[in-house]
Amino acid sequence: MLVACGMQRCHQEALKKNRVVLAKQLVLKELLEHMIEKDVITTEMVESIQAKSGSFSQNVEFLNLLPKRGPNAFSAFCEALRETKQQHLEAMILKTTSNLSHGIARLEHCYGSNLPFSASESSNSKRPRWVEPMEHSLDNGDGPPIPPVKYCTPEFYHDHRHLAYKLISEPRGLALILSNIHFSSEKDLEYRAGGDVDCTSLEMLFKHLGYQVTVFHDQTAQEMQNSLERFSKLPDHRDVDSCIVALLSHGVEGGVYGSDGKLLQLQEAFRLFDNANCPNLQNKPKMFFIQACRGDETDRGVDQRDGKEWSDSPGCEESDANKEENLKLRLPTCSDMICGYACLKGTAAMRNTKRGSWYIEALTSVFAEDSRDTHVADMLVKVNRQIKQREGYAPGTEFHRCKEMSEYCSTLCRDLYLFPGYLPGK
């Protein structure tokens, strides 16, 4: 099955049908503050909205963003309209929503549930919002086998260590996995079937790579924040050479959901591990892996114009000022980090309910096979290549031949080889 997480279809349609009126009449100034308070948008998003010239353009930017901010964004918007004395706009979109919901109900009465979109997307449904098509499972239904990690040779280590981060501590580093599968019943976030496969695969991979792994399940956004903060302050980071954090949940651009349906902002999580807040990891590589949607748009893909590839389914500047005071080496606030994302901004990440997510399956396979002689950035390029070649198989649904594209961003300053299995002097 393929999973995504976003605003209900009827809510999106209600905003679309009233788009011109909303763009003309919305008063954003106070409303944006309410939306930040409700954990729907971030201060960075407010800045991008306010960078537009004129109220109409700012309203359009906000309306483009709103449908991508998760299943709670519509109700939070309606509440913010009430709180800012714009009830006439709330009444308008709620009336449209009601009409759309009645239309769906009439269609269901006439045709049953065989609609071109899931009947669970109606606003009064208690079933999961997005019913996913099932991919053909290529395994026995118990999830993918966890491949053994191949060890690097002493010769490879000695040939490559000069340009690489030091990575020979035992353990290699501390790893933290936060995996959310179940979500509170009052939130419109469905059970992440297959998420347990992802968690187990990553835990075993990190252990085989020589990391000491801690796993927490089904935490609220605040509990996730607390776990990350405690982990970042562990004194044991001083004695190891690297760190890994993996976040597995539903998400939107810039955040992942806690089990309570509230958002953990990713920038806040990354900030805990920067050079200012985590001195024990200064100059050491920090890896982050995010398995979560970054929007709700399904990548339909495009036909390749030409080509034979087929998709698989299954510094010199200085200043003269204060030179006598610059006795300590200065570091940028954020460096030596690499973060892999399951999908691109604005798009949904795909997950098979038996085999786990496409991204984690590719990640564990590539790292197990290639970490012996390939640095992390090149392995993530190979993961991208595998994701690019994969497509959904669900004939007769909108998900048939759907695509996904992973990406990574990096502030690494050296090659990051994991040197699995190599221990000096042993």
Query: What DSSP line would sit under 348-401, residue for residue?
Result: PPPEETTTEEHHHHHHHHHHHHHTTTS-HHHHHHHHHHHHHHB----TTSTTTT
- Short-list 191, 225, 155, CA closest to 372: 155
Q: Give the mean model confidence (pLDDT) for residues 230-239.
A: 97
- Short-list 178, 291, 174, 179, CA closest to 244: 174
The C-alpha atoms of residue 357 and residue 365 are separated, in whole angstroms, by 12
Q: At what angle do helices 55-65 and 43-50 cross, to 10 degrees?
A: 140
Q: Give catalytic status of residue 250 as yes or no.
A: yes
Higher pLDDT, 170 or 124: 170
- Strands of 173-179's sheet in order across: 211-217, 173-179, 242-248, 286-291, 337-341, 407-410
Q: Give the mean model confidence (pLDDT) for residues 275-281.
A: 94
How many CA atoms does the CB half-sphere of 84 hold within 13 Å?
20
Q: Give the mean model confidence (pLDDT) for residues 15-23.
A: 91
pLDDT band at 113 (very low <50, low <70, confident <90, very high): very low
> 116-125, 190-199, 208-217, 299-308: which has the highest mean pLDDT?
208-217
| Per-residue pLDDT at 227 | 97
pLDDT band at 194 (very low <50, low <70, confident <90, very high): confident
Q: Give the mean model confidence (pLDDT) for residues 56-76.
A: 89
| Per-residue pLDDT at 425 | 73
Q: Which two tokens stand for residue 87?
A: 């009830």
Q: Give the mean model confidence (pLDDT) for residues 242-265.
A: 93
Q: Give the mean model confidence (pLDDT) for residues 78-90.
A: 92
Indicate which residue of 199, 243, 293, 343 is catalytic: 293
Q: Which two tokens stand for residue 416?
A: 């990051």
Q: Model's pTM, two decimal places?
A: 0.69
Q: Give the mean model confidence (pLDDT) for residues 33-48.
A: 89
Question: Per-residue pLDDT for 129 more than 80?
Answer: no
Query: How far apart, in Å, are the Cα atoms of 90 and each of 78, 79, 86, 188?
Result: 5, 8, 7, 20
Q: Which two tokens stand for residue 256?
A: 């992942």
How many CA atoms does the CB half-sphere of 221 hold within 13 Å?
16
Q: Decide: 79 and 94 in contact? Cβ < 8 Å.
A: no
Please enumerate, as own/partner, the contacts of 85-89 that have beta carbons within 8 Å and a separation of 24 or more.
86/25, 86/26, 86/27, 86/31, 89/18, 89/21, 89/22, 89/25, 89/26
- % of residues, the chain, pLDDT over 90: 54
| Per-residue pLDDT at 70 | 81
Higher pLDDT, 216 or 189: 216
| Per-residue pLDDT at 398 | 66
The C-alpha atoms of residue 290 and residue 274 are separated, in whole angstroms, by 17
Q: Give the mean model confidence (pLDDT) for residues 323-336.
A: 60
| Per-residue pLDDT at 179 | 96
The b-or-e profile of 123-151 (16+ CB within 10 A means b, else e) is: bebeebbbebbebeeeeeeebbebbebee
How many CA atoms does the CB half-sphere of 132 hold within 13 Å?
24
| Per-residue pLDDT at 278 | 96
Q: Give the mean model confidence (pLDDT) for residues 180-204.
A: 87
The C-alpha atoms of residue 48 and residue 122 are separated, in whole angstroms, by 32
Higher pLDDT, 225 or 314: 225
Please enumerate, as own/partner, the contacts of 321-330 that have beta carbons within 8 Å and a separation of 24 or more.
none
Indicate which residue of 34, 237, 250, 375 is catalytic: 250
The C-alpha atoms of residue 291 and residue 253 are separated, in whole angstroms, by 12
Q: Give catalytic status of residue 208 as yes or no.
A: no
The C-alpha atoms of residue 301 and residue 336 are separated, in whole angstroms, by 33
Please spell the DSSP secondary structure of 270-335, one letter per residue: HHTTSTTT-GGGTTS-EEEEEES-SSSB-B-----SS-----B--------TTGGG--SPP--SS-
pLDDT band at 7 (very low <50, low <70, confident <90, very high): confident
Residues in the chain: 426
The neighbouring-strand residues paired with 243 are 174, 286
| Per-residue pLDDT at 93 | 92
Question: Per-residue pLDDT for 402 more than 90?
Answer: no
| Per-residue pLDDT at 309 | 52
pLDDT band at 5 (very low <50, low <70, confident <90, very high): low
| Per-residue pLDDT at 32 | 94
